[in-house]
Protein backbone atom coordinates (compact mmCIF):
# COMPACT_ATOMS: atom_id res chain seq x y z
CA UNK A 1 0.00 0.00 0.00
CA UNK A 2 1.35 3.41 -0.98
CA UNK A 3 0.59 6.00 1.69
CA UNK A 4 0.78 9.70 0.92
CA UNK A 5 1.34 12.17 3.70
CA UNK A 6 -0.09 15.66 3.43
CA UNK A 7 1.01 18.71 5.33
CA UNK A 8 -2.42 20.36 4.98
CA UNK A 9 -5.91 18.99 4.33
CA UNK A 10 -8.55 21.53 3.32
CA UNK A 11 -12.22 20.67 3.74
CA UNK A 12 -14.33 22.51 1.13
CA UNK A 13 -13.31 23.50 -2.36
CA UNK A 14 -15.15 26.77 -2.69
CA UNK A 15 -13.48 30.15 -3.06
CA UNK A 16 -11.57 30.28 0.21
CA UNK A 17 -10.59 26.60 0.13
CA UNK A 18 -9.17 26.82 -3.39
CA UNK A 19 -7.48 30.11 -2.62
CA UNK A 20 -5.75 28.55 0.39
CA UNK A 21 -4.80 25.48 -1.64
CA UNK A 22 -3.23 27.61 -4.37
CA UNK A 23 -1.21 29.64 -1.86
CA UNK A 24 -0.01 26.46 -0.17
CA UNK A 25 0.78 24.84 -3.51
CA UNK A 26 2.90 27.81 -4.49
CA UNK A 27 4.72 27.34 -1.18
CA UNK A 28 5.43 23.72 -2.21
CA UNK A 29 3.28 22.23 0.58
CA UNK A 30 1.66 18.84 0.05
CA UNK A 31 -2.02 19.79 0.13
CA UNK A 32 -5.23 17.80 -0.24
CA UNK A 33 -8.60 19.45 -0.96
CA UNK A 34 -11.71 17.44 -0.04
CA UNK A 35 -15.02 18.61 -1.49
CA UNK A 36 -18.37 16.87 -1.96
CA UNK A 37 -19.14 18.70 -5.20
CA UNK A 38 -22.52 19.83 -3.87
CA UNK A 39 -23.13 23.57 -3.61
CA UNK A 40 -23.64 24.78 -0.05
CA UNK A 41 -26.50 27.05 -1.17
CA UNK A 42 -28.36 24.32 -3.07
CA UNK A 43 -31.69 25.20 -1.41
CA UNK A 44 -31.56 28.80 -2.74
CA UNK A 45 -30.43 28.60 -6.37
CA UNK A 46 -31.63 32.11 -7.32
CA UNK A 47 -30.84 34.08 -4.17
CA UNK A 48 -27.24 34.84 -3.30
CA UNK A 49 -25.92 36.71 -0.24
CA UNK A 50 -29.43 37.26 1.12
CA UNK A 51 -29.14 36.51 4.83
CA UNK A 52 -32.76 35.93 5.80
CA UNK A 53 -35.51 33.49 4.79
CA UNK A 54 -33.28 30.97 3.00
CA UNK A 55 -35.32 28.37 1.16
CA UNK A 56 -38.48 30.50 0.98
Res. 10: pLDDT tops 90: yes
Q: Give the pLDDT of residue 15.
A: 86
Looking at residues 18-26, what average pLDDT do you find? 93
Q: Answer whether residue 1 shows pLDDT above 70.
A: no
Could you tell me what percent of the chain has a pLDDT over 70?
Answer: 68
Tell me if 21 sits within 8 A of 37, measured CB to CB. no
pTM over the 0.85 mark: no
Domain boundaries, the chain: 7-37
Which string of b and e fits 19-56 if b means at least 16 CB within 10 Å? eebeebeeeeeebebeeeeeeeeeeeeeeeeeeeeeee
**Beta strands 31-34 and 8-11: pairing type?**
parallel
Amino acid sequence: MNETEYEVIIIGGSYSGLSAAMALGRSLRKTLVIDSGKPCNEQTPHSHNFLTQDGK
